[in-house]
Amino acid sequence: MRARTLRHKVAPFIPGSVRPAARRVYDYLEYEIGARTGRRDPLIPPRSLHIVGSGDDSDFVTIGEEFFRLFVEVGGLEPHHRVLDVGCGTGRMARPLTRYLTDGSYEGMDIVAPSIRWCQRTYSRRFPNFHFQFSDIFNQHYNPLGKQQAPEYRFPFADSSFDFVLLTSVFTHLLPAALRNYLSEVARVLKPGGRCFITCYLLNPEALRMIDAGMSCETFRFEFDGCRIETAENPEHIVAYDESTILCLYEKAGLTLRTPVYHGSWCGRKNGLTHQDVIVAQKQ
């Protein structure tokens, strides 16, 4: 509370060139004061680290809880499972899992270094079965200085290591070669019978009709190397794929759909399971 008051008082006197840095400092102070005094959930990161969604604390919590329910009810996640979260960000999915994986474990990986550092500091002393690591992969939108290329990246885990692998809004930022590699790596690190829960944008006749009718929040008007993108200048910003193409890739990777695709509401559907489309598959 004090940090927020101070921010409002001094903001008019801070030069514009340093305001972004000052905002990050104030966000951090607000987080620390709130967490240490019990007025703020310590597992909700400072607002300056929110890089997805609206950036609002309630949005962070609501989406995390929504997906936690889907992991259990749709994906079949169980408390003893060993979980891999690819693209874990600042722990939006990890937060609700801390109270559920009582006999299991969690590994989170992401290409945004500040998010991983915050998660390592925040979770490691509270939850010894939760671990996070940085993957220095190039992505024009999220990690433009990354040293490794996504199409060649190997997940830093042994074969058949996990019962449950989740990727929420990761395929939405992967171009075809990277997507094929990630799907192969998901299959590799899953145990036989293990499950993956992946969200993406899938183009099928229904979605295309809704896009043409102006009902969709995304248009995917540019074709790019076997996929459709929203922004020509930054192809990885938002990516969509033909549904039949994705399902063929699953089959080639040895992943069998446990249920039909759960289509999302992104294109204007009224009864979508969640915003993006969801595919739940099992390793053969």
Give the mean model confidence (pLDDT) for residues 256-278: 96
d(CA 173, CA 170): 6
Give residue 98's pLDDT.
98
Instruction: Tell me the two tokens of residue 284.
Output: 């053969």
Domain 52-283: what homologous superfamily?
Vaccinia Virus protein VP39 (3.40.50.150)
Contact call for residues 166 and 71 (beta carbons, < 8 A): yes
26 pLDDT tier (thresholds 50, 70, 90):
very low
Give residue 284's pLDDT.
87
Residue 110 pLDDT > 90, yes or no?
yes
- Domains in the chain: boundaries: 1-40, 52-283
Amino acid letter, 264:
G
Contact call for residues 255 and 186 (beta carbons, < 8 A): yes
Judging by beta carbons within 10 Å of its beta carbon (0-12, 13-18, 19+), is residue 224 exposed, middle or buried?
middle
- Within 10 Å of residue 244's Cβ, how many Cβ atoms? 11
Give residue 1's pLDDT.
42
Contact call for residues 86 and 187 (beta carbons, < 8 A): no
89 pLDDT tier (thresholds 50, 70, 90):
very high
161 pLDDT tier (thresholds 50, 70, 90):
very high
Quote the Cα angle for 225-226-228, to 5°.
Answer: 90
Instruction: Tell me the two tokens of residue 235.
Output: 């192809």
- pTM here is 0.87
Smallest CA-to-CA distance from 246 within 192, 190, 167 is with: 167
Contact call for residues 189 and 162 (beta carbons, < 8 A): yes
What is the average pLDDT value for the chain, to the nearest integer?
89
Give the mean model confidence (pLDDT) for residues 102-131: 96
Contact call for residues 108 and 119 (beta carbons, < 8 A): yes
Judging by beta carbons within 10 Å of its beta carbon (0-12, 13-18, 19+), is residue 219 exposed, middle or buried?
middle
Alpha helices in 74-112 (DSSP H): 94-97
Amino acid letter, 283:
K
Q: Which long-range contacts link 40-44 to residues 24+ away (Cβ below 8 Å)? A: 42/122, 42/126, 43/91, 43/94, 43/95, 43/98, 43/122, 43/123, 44/95
SS3 186: helix
Contact call for residues 195 and 247 (beta carbons, < 8 A): no
Residue 27 pLDDT > 90, yes or no?
no
d(CA 38, CA 33): 8
d(CA 20, CA 32): 19
Give residue 141's pLDDT.
81
Contact call for residues 83 and 104 (beta carbons, < 8 A): yes
Give residue 47's pLDDT.
79
b/e burial code for range 136-156 (CB count within 10 A of at least 16 → b): ebbbeebbeebeeebeebebe
Give residue 55's pLDDT.
57
